[in-house]
């Protein structure tokens, strides 16, 4: 499915990722076009997070081809991939505990610009502050920007990771289980924030176990099982797909 585009933003071909003799990702193909919102679901151990670890360079592919905007990235390091336009969040909440929401997000903005100085920054440019302001606004954190991370509830920690990723101004945002551990009201809050990102035209690959979250937001759904893609298509056909029903 091309979304009207002839060339994908991200093209993954014949991706394998082995851990010893285990194929955590097994001959996986995926095209992501600008403006796509692709939801990836599947049971625990299906290979979902490993797949985005491969895309982001955290765990490079054993074999296969990954191309972002015409540039081969399968053998590049995570920092280089980020500077080329891919940013991500993680399942486990991460942040600099003694720093504020704004300071944490400034780290993302600085890193996203490819700042390679030998020493930590003492000042940040107006461009970085503009990126931070926009990211905090999109994640509805602007009113809590000066709070210290160690004092934040789980929801705000998840939103902080998203804000830090957005501050790099990525071409492609990878979001890994953004509503795990949240209550239904908080799930709805995150859903509205992601809808806002969609309105802004952010291209997203989204991993989530909460199916109502995944299905309501995704334009296209991929289901993985034992490292393989067993389904790719729209939400309606998913519900009647025999193999998906058997897996779940």
What is the predicted pLDDT for the residue at 118? 46
Q: What is the secondary structure of 116-140 as a DSSP string? A: --SS--SS--HHHHHHHHHHHHHTT
What is the distance between the alpha carbons of residues 184 and 151, in angstroms, rounded to a whole number?
22
What is the predicted pLDDT for the residue at 119? 47
What is the distance between the alpha carbons of residues 211 and 40, in angstroms, rounded to a whole number?
10
What is the predicted pLDDT for the residue at 110? 83
What is the predicted pLDDT for the residue at 93? 84
Q: Which regions in the chain score pLDDT beneath 70?
A: 1-5, 112-123
What is the predicted pLDDT for the residue at 11? 97
Of 71, 69, 102, 75, residue with least CA distance to 15: 75
pLDDT tens per residue across span 69-128: 999 999 999 999 999 999 999 988 888 899 999 999 998 888 765 555 544 555 677 888
């Amino acid at each position: 499915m091309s979304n009207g585009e002839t060339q994908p933003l991200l093209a993954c071909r014949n991706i394998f990722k082995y851990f010893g003799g285990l194929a955590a990702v097994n001959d996986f193909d995926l095209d992501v076009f600008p403006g796509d919102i692709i939801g990836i679901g599947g049971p625990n151990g299906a290979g979902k997070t490993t797949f985005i670890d491969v895309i982001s360079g955290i765990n490079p592919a054993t074999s296969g081809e990954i191309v972002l905007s015409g540039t081969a990235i399968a053998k590049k390091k995570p920092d280089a991939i980020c500077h080329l336009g891919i940013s991500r969040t993680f399942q486990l909440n991460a942040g600099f505990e003694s720093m504020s929401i704004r300071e944490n997000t400034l780290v993302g903005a600085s890193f996203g610009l490819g700042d390679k100085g030998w020493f930590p920054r003492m000042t940040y440019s107006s461009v970085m502050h503009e990126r931070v302001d926009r990211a905090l606004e999109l994640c509805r954190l602007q009113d809590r920007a000066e709070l210290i991370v160690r004092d934040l509830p789980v929801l705000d920690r998840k939103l902080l990771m998203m804000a830090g990723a957005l501050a790099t101004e990525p071409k492609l945002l990878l979001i890994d289980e953004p509503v795990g551990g949240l209550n239904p009201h908080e799930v709805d809050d995150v859903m509205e924030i992601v809808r806002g990102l969609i309105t802004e035209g952010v291209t997203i690959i989204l991993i989530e176990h909460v199916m109502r979250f995944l299905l309501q937001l995704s334009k296209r759904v991929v289901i993985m099982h034992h490292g393989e893609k067993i389904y790719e298509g729209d939400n309606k056909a998913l519900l009647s797909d025999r193999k998906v029903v058997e897996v779940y």
